Amino acid sequence: MIGDRRPSSHGVLFLDELGEFPVAALESLRQPLEEGVIRVSRAAGTAEFPASFLLVAAMNPCPCGEGVYKGACSCSVVMRARYRRRISAPFLDRFDLVVPVTRPTASELLDRVPAESSADVAARVAMARNRADSRGPQEPVLTKEATDTLSRKLAEGELSARGLGKVTRVARTIADLAEAEVVNDDHVSEALLLRAGRSVVVA
């Protein structure tokens, strides 16, 4: 497994069909995800391998794969539960963004507007990173409405302490992409929804 991850230090590790990986393999990703290193201890000593990477993964919501489509899933509850058990909640918690991908309709496929080009996206990302870098490490500034939304989610138990930090960071990035100085309620709501996408997998 180390061999699999080493080349992706400072790179992107993409795991397709996440639900098909052995549970032990996925759980062993938790340390590098948290600390950016893989530590191997043997009698002779401990070796530390750099393993800082961006983890991207894809999976079906259920065995039949129709779960993202309105009411089309034909899996039994038992089948769905068994499939989901392969991804533990703490592991899923490490993901900042979970995006349900729906199947495009026929009309979307046929007469769709040309998508934003990768070059344009890259330029937007570079701009947002610049903004973040020039601001330096400081606590994001939130509007009162945004703070209220977060404290309500905390009080309702829908957001954990770990989640709060992640949501705030994602909301700051969304605000940077929108060239906004202050994080507002819309930015926070988007970050919350991108996190709530997990419910498709764990519900």
Residue closest to 172 by CA, chosen among 116, 123, 129: 129
Total residues interacting with other proteins, rule: CB under 8 A? 31
Min dist CB 159 to other proteins, Å, is 12
Residue closer to other proteins, measured from CB, 42 or 70: 70
When asked if residue 63 is in the footprint of other proteins (CB under 8 A), the reply is no
Residue closest to 102 by CA, chosen among 131, 65, 143, 128: 65
DSSP state, 18? G
Min dist CB 189 to other proteins, Å, is 4
When asked if residue 196 is in the footprint of other proteins (CB under 8 A), the reply is yes
Among 33, 73, 97, 154, binds other proteins (CB under 8 A): 73
Min dist CB 129 to other proteins, Å, is 18
When asked if residue 72 is in the footprint of other proteins (CB under 8 A), the reply is yes
Residue closest to 186 by CA, chosen among 156, 152, 121, 142: 142
* DSSP string for 109-172: HHSPPPPPPHHHHHHHHHHHHHHHHHH-S-PPPB-HHHHHHHHHHHHTTSS-HHHHHHHHHHHH
Min dist CB 39 to other proteins, Å, is 36
Subset of 8-37 contacting other proteins (CB under 8 A): none
Subset of 97-136 contacting other proteins (CB under 8 A): 100, 102
Structural tokens at position 155: 């009080």
Among 77, 109, 115, 161, binds other proteins (CB under 8 A): 77
By rule CB under 8 A, what string of x and - marks binding of each residue 151-170 to other proteins? -x------------------
| Chain residues in the site for other proteins (CB under 8 A) | 68, 70-78, 80, 100, 102, 149, 152, 174, 178, 184-190, 192-193, 196-197, 199-200, 203
